[in-house]
Each structure stands twice: as C-alpha cells, then as structure tokens.
Amino acid sequence: MSIVHFLENYAAGQRTFDNLELIQASLQGADLRNIILTNVDFYRSNLSGSLFYDSSWINAKLRRTNLHSASFLRADLSGADLTEADLSEASLQAANLSYAQVCQVDLINASLVGAKLHGTNLTDSVFLGADLSNADLTGAILTNADFLGATFFNTIMPDGSIRSGIEPTSSIPGFTRPDD
C-alpha cells in the first residue's frame, strides 16, 4: 500500500491496518490518533511531530525511524522494534512499551511519565534529561543505558526498588558503562 492510499484510507475512517510496509515514508506532523497497526514496518520513516494518541503498534518495526517530538500518549507499543530510533523530545506518557526493543535509541528530553516498560530492552539508549516519573521498568534491561540528568519520581526500577530524584550519574542498577 502506498503512503497516499494509507492516508486516504485513514481519512475515510479506517483505523486498523495489518502487515503494512511503509519504508522511508514521510508522515511528518501527521495526526493518526486511535490507529491500530499490527506487524507494520516503518523502517527509516519520518514520523516526527506526529500525534499517535491512544494508538496501537503491536509488533511494529520502527527501526531507525525519526519520531522526534512525536506524541504516543497512552499508546501500546508492546513488542515493537524501535532500534536506533530518534525519540528525542517525544511524549510516551502512559505508553506501554513492554517487551519492546528500544536499543540505541535517543530519548533525550523525552517524557515517559507513567510508561510501562516491563521486560523492555533499553540497551545503549540515552535518557539524558528524560522524565521517568511513575514509570515501571520491572525486568527492563538497562545495559549501557545513560540516565544522566533523568528525572525519577516513584519510578519502579528493574529490581523492583523505587527510585526518586534527578540522576547525577549513570549508576543505575543493571547499568554498566563500556570501557572508554
């Protein structure tokens, strides 16, 4: 399906799309609230500044996708592959990212307030200045993740402990920094 056909179908009221491949698509600033996407591939697409409130992205492939300043308020991204995506300044408030691959992702100044990250692989991701207040990281993998300047308030950490405050270092349980 072409990007034009996809947008026409959405404008006509279709909200559910399965097995869609829109590689290198440009949907910058799109308003796709309440969309349900299953097994879709948006590899290297530009979705920056787009609105995806109350959307579902089950097992979506968003590798190397530009999601800068996108809003995923209450979105379900469980099982999604966001490897090397740009989620800087994105809003993932109350989003479900359980069991997602969020490796080598830029989450600088992103809002993950109330986000659910159960079993999420956050290896090598950067959370500088991100807000993880009330987020649940139970079982998340934090290998080499950088949380310098990130805000924690009643945040459930991978080991079940509760963390609050602004992170002055990257010394998070489960965090290891590679040798320089």
Q: What is the CATH number of the domain that holds 73?
A: 2.160.20.80
Element housing 154 (H / E): strand 151-156
Residue 44 lies in domain: 1-175
Q: How many structural domains does the chain have? A: 1
- Residue 169 has a pLDDT of 58
Q: How far apart are CA 101 and CA 129, in angstroms?
A: 21
Q: Is residue 133 part of a domain?
A: yes
Unique residue bearing structure tokens 């991204």: 77
pTM of the model: 0.90
> pLDDT over 70 for what percent of the chain?
93
Q: Is residue 180 part of a domain?
A: no
Model confidence at 141: pLDDT above 80: yes
Q: Is residue 11 part of a domain?
A: yes
* Token pair belonging to 67: 């999601």
Q: How far apart are CA 3 and CA 28, in angstroms?
A: 12
| pLDDT tens-digit map of 32-91 | 999 999 999 999 999 999 999 999 998 999 999 999 999 999 999 999 999 999 999 999
Q: Is residue 10 part of a domain?
A: yes
Q: Is residue 105 part of a domain?
A: yes
